[in-house]
Amino acid sequence: MNKTAVRDAILTELRAELDRQRAAAELARDEAISEESRPENKWDTHSQEAAYLAEGQARLTREIGEALGLISTMPLPDLLNGDRIALGALVQVDTGRGVTAYFLAPRAGGVEVTVEGRAVLVVTPQSPLGRQLIGRRAGEEITPPGAARSKPQRITAVA
């Protein structure tokens, strides 16, 4: 699987999410400053709630924009199966029920894209799974987070 294609798919997904969040942030902002949101009495908190929502939507929009910038400029190292996993790695793990593909990125953890008919999940080094993958090599085993009783899973490929 081509890492550049994976990164392009992630960037496309993030751009679409950024557009959705910008629209949501604008709607929340309009609601917060609307004449209809004025409190009718001292117990009416509708305008305050709308302002909190607008602030949260604006923060999420900034975070997605930052993720776009970081991922678009992130180097994609040419890793081989003997190399240690690092940012920009495309990792395949045999879960016992199939092979799962992960892409290590500085942000956007949890984003899932499909490339060449295969699902790829973005993980960050800060996530429990990302912490286990960083520095490992193909052939080594990891224990999935939250699955203490599960069998270890083998890293089958690193690119």
As averages over each run of 10 residues, the pLDDT of the chain (159 residues) reads: 95 97 89 75 76 90 96 93 93 93 97 97 96 95 76 93
Residues paired with residue 114 on neighbouring β-strands, in sequence order? 119
CA dihedral (120, 2, 61, 17) positive or negative? negative
Which 8-state DSSP code applies to residue 37? G
**Would the pTM count as exceeding 0.85?**
yes
Q: What confidence score (pLDDT) does residue 146 get?
A: 73
Angle at 141 between CA 139 and CA 146, to 5 degrees: 155
**Hey, where are the domains in the chain?**
3-73, 90-158
Is residue 46 within 8 A of residue 33, CB to CB? The reply is no
Q: What confidence score (pLDDT) does residue 120 get?
A: 98
Strands of 11-127 (E only): list them: 90-94, 99-104, 112-115, 118-123
Fold of 90-158: Chitinase A; domain 3 (3.10.50)
Is residue 91 within 8 A of residue 104, CB to CB? The reply is yes
- How far is residue 58's CA from residue 39's CA, in Å, rounded to a whole number? 23
Q: What confidence score (pLDDT) does residue 35 get?
A: 76
Q: What confidence score (pLDDT) does residue 148 get?
A: 59
| Count of other CB atoms within 10 angstroms of residue 96 | 10
Q: What confidence score (pLDDT) does residue 147 get?
A: 58
